[in-house]
Structure 1
Amino acid sequence: MGRIIGLDLGSKTCGVAISDQTGFLARALTTIRFEQEDYDDCFDQILNLLEKEKVNEVVLGLPKHMNGDVGIRGQLSIDFGYELEQEGYHVTLWDERLTTVSAQRLLIEGDVSRKKRKKIIDQTAAVFILQNYLDSKKNRG
Structure 2
Amino acid sequence: MAAENEPAHWKPGRRMGVDVGKVRVGVALSDATGTLASPLETVRRAKDKSDLDRLAGLVVTHDVVEVVVGLPMHLSGASGSSARDASAYARALASRIGNVPVHLVDERLSTVTAASHLRAGGIDARRQRSVIDQAAAVVILQSHLDARPAAGPDSEGRHS
> TM-score, length-normalised on structure 2?
0.80
Q: Deviations over 1:103-123 (max 9, x none)?
A: 111111211133321111110
Provide the rounded CA distance (Å) in 1 between the counterparts of 2:62 and 2:44.
18
Provide the rounded CA distance (Å) in 1 between the counterparts of 2:44 and 2:88.
19
Identical columns (%): 38
Structure-to-structure mapping, 1:41-80, within 5 angstroms:
41-80=50-89
Paired residue total: 139
Q: Which moved more, 1:2-11 or 1:71-80?
A: 71-80
| Structure 2, unaligned runs of 5 or more | 1-11, 156-160
Shift of 1:39: 7.1
CA RMSD of aligned residues (A): 1.7
Provide the rounded CA distance (Å) in 1 between the counterparts of 2:40 and 2:80.
28
Compared CA separation, residues 109 and 39, structure 1 to 2 (3 A): farther
| Structure 1, unaligned runs of 5 or more | none
Larger helix fraction of residues: 1
> TM-score, length-normalised on structure 1?
0.90
Does residue 22 of structure 2 align to residue 15 of structure 1? no
The amino acid across from 2:131 in the alignment is: I
